[in-house]
Structure 1
Amino acid sequence: MSIIIVDDNATNQIIIKAILNKAGYEDLKIASSAMELYSILDLESNSIAESNVDLILMDMMMPEIDGLEACKRVLQTERYKDVPIIFVTALGDSNKMAEALDAGASDYVMKPINKMELLARIRSSLRLKQEMDWHKERDKQVKFKLELAKKVQRNVLSQPIHDDNVDISAIYQPSTELAGDFYSWYRIDDNRYGVILLDMMGHGISSSLVCMYISSVLKDTITRITEPDLVMQELNRYMNQLYKKEELLNYYFTAIYLVLDTKARTIQYVNAGHPPGKLIIGDQVTLLTEGCCAIGLFENIKIDKASLSYLDEMKIILYTDGLSESLGENEEAKLDTLINQLVGQAPGEHAATVREFVTEQSSEDQKDDICMVMIATK
């Protein structure tokens, strides 16, 4: 344990050092003023290194800079903000003691020093410091694992498709480290593509884990079953496997899943409680609303599959509610304005357009994940 004794009186330094040495504390440093303390701590540097001190014993009354000012200055430095400071003082003024605690001190001991009291308060402060250090280390590990999980989550998202038949791409702006929105697409055969966009209930770790669970079965489900209503039934079965009667909450997601056949020029889809996607052919806009309730809410659900056809080039735009909610009032009109801008652009320009549009329309921080999938036939 590294302890710094700050006192302008040499006798007090000797007494405190002797008490601590006898109690087994050997890593001790002495400072006769606040400026010497600043020098030991190297406060003037911009170092981001971890704190190299576990406790500071501080005299209240010192020349030039008193203990209160020194305490505030030390605790304002990021790497020392959690270091416990115990005032050792002859002042019996309760107002001064309250001021010391308000300044961030963890405790105080009155002079003349009672050895047992001093050691007890030191042990108490050091236990708290160890507890805080443990939590800080644990937070670091959690942050590292969250970063790893975020990378894994991003890596399982589908990459854009730009081939002779179709362009499929997505815009993804998660609101937190781990998101509940997920999209994926697979080429079923030479002419058919299965595309899904889903929005998992909630945010953060639990939603992300359920997304990863669904992503692990998507490829097999989409390429093996293909039919939108049967795919949704299968995903509902998987979601119900997570349900436990003793839990008050069961997981669910909204989604749009569609199968695009570029040869037959047909679109078969199911909308499971999701914001309606938009099929755009020339100036005509068709909302993709047919389907069922959210997936995972009930063990058995009735699913209606819808079919559409097109002759000329068409575009489909799917989005999660995080996008529309981020636009504030008159969200439908604003969403139409955004979509009109996107329809005339190349896929590589879409992300910047969405970011700029959302930033212009919203005065608040992003509260929900924003995700949009765009499909265009050739």
Structure 2
Amino acid sequence: MDDQLNFAPCGFITMDEDGNLISVNETLLILLDYSGEKLSGKHINEILSVPARLFFQLYFCPLIKKEEKVEEMYLSLTTSKGEELPVLINALRRNRNNASVIDCVLIPMRKRDEYENELIQAKKMAEIALLEKDKAVIEMEDLLQKIEEQRQELITLNRENQLYKENMEKELQLAKNIQETSLTEPISNEELQIDAYYKASSELSGDIYGFYQISRTQYGIILLDVMGHGISSSMITMSLQSLFQRLISRGVTGERIMKELDAHLHELFRNNADAWHYCTAIYLFIDTKKQTIEYVNAGHPPALLQAPDGIQYELISTTPPLGAFEGITFVKNSVEYSSGGRLLLYTDGVTDPLDVQHLPDLLMKHPSASLKELKGSILQSLEETESSYTENDDKCFILVDLK
């Protein structure tokens, strides 16, 4: 890379079609606080935030393949210290030395975000001032008359709503009990130990999980997160739950399970595009005799595998979410593990309130803690960072000790 490009006033990267970084200019390395050796050959997920990884798979990859270019796409990067850096990315796919590569220009957006926030705030203030002026024009006599009419209507509606609310609360509580009853119980034996945490943001959840003993030495674990939350998402999760429970219990392969779930979602919304939902999912097939894990990750946050020596591996997504595109080919990946390893699977409702590196650090900090103790540490972290925004998202995670 020549000096003009290497020290340009913007970031510049070149990667292959699989997202592996070929070169990164010095400007971007300084912005992200990385060395060139640290990122060389790594997947671009290494510098993308967790939400941006999903956005990259769902929008960037299909667009660059179809149009061979991407213009002004908004993404967020993560520095070596875990800080987010918003950028605009422009990309162009071209052939170089008989191979297809993707050149990307990344323009930092911190200042622009600040200016846009100021403009939004100014617009809100102007709208409030205009509204107050309009209200002052309304004659008091007409206003009082309308208030009285509305008060009478409100009294009637309140009576109806109270009855409806009482009936709805009973129905939602029943649905919640049914949904929670469908969740599988913890597993603990000489092969492994599995525990989970599940909390809906409202009465019903868009998250669902299941873990099943397929044979004496084989286990299947699945975690799904349907877009949104509440009644619509929970209905979709329950229809998916009955399907994956049947498939996993029969020992069907991970690729086949994902294909069946994807086809189910497409069939649900084939005649109703307005109700369309997609779903991120990850499935693990664990063979304790061979000490191997086969997994398929469809747009889901990467599961963490920590070896007994503390080395961690990310089981990253290689395909878009279920229900996103038709004709997706799902491919499994395999890793080996040693006795004493540990797995953590989670939905974005767990990672969004926390720093991007918090969960890996937590696993590293408590290598000998029991699953109960580790579960308590994660829940404590979530309670300490809880906010009005994160309260509105479902939270679910699964912990596995590989004995």
TM-score range, shorter chain: 0.5 to 0.7
Q: Which amino acid aligns with 1:322?
A: G
- Matching residue within 348, 355, 358 for 2:382: 358
**Change in CA separation of 1:362 and 1:125 when aligned onto 2, cut-off 3 Å:** closer
Structure 2 residue 252 is matched with structure 1 residue 226: yes
Shift of 1:300: 1.5
Secondary structure of 1:303's partner? coil
Alpha-carbon distance in 1 for matches of 2:209, 2:366? 19
RMSD: 2.6
**Change in CA separation of 1:246 and 1:165 when aligned onto 2, cut-off 3 Å:** closer
Partner of 2:175: 149
**Change in CA separation of 1:261 and 1:272 when aligned onto 2, cut-off 3 Å:** same
Q: Which amino acid aligns with 1:227?
A: T
Contact persistence 1:242–1:251 (CA under 8 A): no
TM-score by length of 2: 0.60
Alpha-carbon distance in 1 for matches of 2:392, 2:164? 27
Partner of 2:396: 371
Structure 2 residue 227 is matched with structure 1 residue 201: yes
Partner of 1:217: 243
**Change in CA separation of 1:235 and 1:372 when aligned onto 2, cut-off 3 Å:** same
Residues 59-74 of structure 1: matches in 2 within 5 Å?
Answer: none
Shift of 1:299: 2.5
- Identify which range, 276-285 or 360-369, moves more after superposition: 360-369
**Change in CA separation of 1:225 and 1:299 when aligned onto 2, cut-off 3 Å:** farther
Alpha-carbon distance in 2 for matches of 1:263, 1:178? 38
Structure 2 residue 357 is matched with structure 1 residue 333: yes
Contact persistence 1:269–1:307 (CA under 8 A): yes
**Identical counterparts, % of pairs:** 33
Partner of 1:315: 342
Alpha-carbon distance in 2 for matches of 1:345, 1:141? 45
**Change in CA separation of 1:346 and 1:267 when aligned onto 2, cut-off 3 Å:** same
Structure 2 residue 315 is matched with structure 1 residue 288: yes
Contact persistence 1:342–1:353 (CA under 8 A): no
Partner of 1:113: none
Contact persistence 2:300–2:317 (CA under 8 A): no
Q: Which amino acid aligns with 1:352?
A: G
Contact persistence 2:302–2:314 (CA under 8 A): yes
Residues 137-176 of structure 1: matches in 2 within 5 Å?
Answer: 137-176=163-202
Shift of 1:302: 1.3
TM-score by length of 1: 0.64
Contact persistence 2:347–2:395 (CA under 8 A): yes
Shift of 1:248: 3.0
Contact persistence 2:294–2:333 (CA under 8 A): yes
**Change in CA separation of 1:324 and 1:149 when aligned onto 2, cut-off 3 Å:** same
Contact persistence 1:179–1:207 (CA under 8 A): yes
- Matching residue within 214, 218, 241 for 1:188: 214
Contact persistence 1:188–1:226 (CA under 8 A): no
Alpha-carbon distance in 2 for matches of 1:144, 1:321? 29
Q: Which amino acid aligns with 1:344?
A: S
User: How many equivalent pairs are there?
Assistant: 263
Residue segments in structure 2 that go unaligned for 5+ positions in a row = 1-138
**TM superposition outliers: structure 1 runs of 4+ over 6 Å:** 124-127
Contact persistence 1:279–1:314 (CA under 8 A): yes
Structure 2 residue 326 is matched with structure 1 residue 302: no
Shift of 1:332: 1.9
Structure 2 residue 372 is matched with structure 1 residue 348: yes
**Change in CA separation of 1:242 and 1:310 when aligned onto 2, cut-off 3 Å:** same
Alpha-carbon distance in 2 for matches of 1:310, 1:284? 11
Contact persistence 1:194–1:226 (CA under 8 A): no
**Change in CA separation of 1:342 and 1:170 when aligned onto 2, cut-off 3 Å:** farther
Q: Which amino acid aligns with 2:254?
A: P
Question: What per-residue deviation string (whole Å, max 9, x for no partner) do you get for residues 36-64 of structure 1?
Answer: xxxxxxxxxxxxxxxxxxxxxxxxxxxxx
Contact persistence 1:276–1:288 (CA under 8 A): yes
Residue segments in structure 1 that go unaligned for 5+ positions in a row = 1-93, 108-120
Q: Which amino acid aligns with 1:375?
A: V
CA radius of gyration, larger in: 1
- Identify which range, 175-184 or 332-341, moves more after superposition: 332-341
Shift of 1:106: 6.8
**Change in CA separation of 1:341 and 1:152 when aligned onto 2, cut-off 3 Å:** farther
Alpha-carbon distance in 2 for matches of 1:234, 1:299? 12
Contact persistence 1:250–1:297 (CA under 8 A): no
Shift of 1:343: 4.0
**Change in CA separation of 1:177 and 1:351 when aligned onto 2, cut-off 3 Å:** farther
- Identify which range, 254-263 or 359-368, moves more after superposition: 359-368
Secondary structure of 1:374's partner? strand
Alpha-carbon distance in 1 for matches of 2:153, 2:384? 50
Q: Which amino acid aligns with 2:195?
A: S
Secondary structure of 2:357's partner? helix
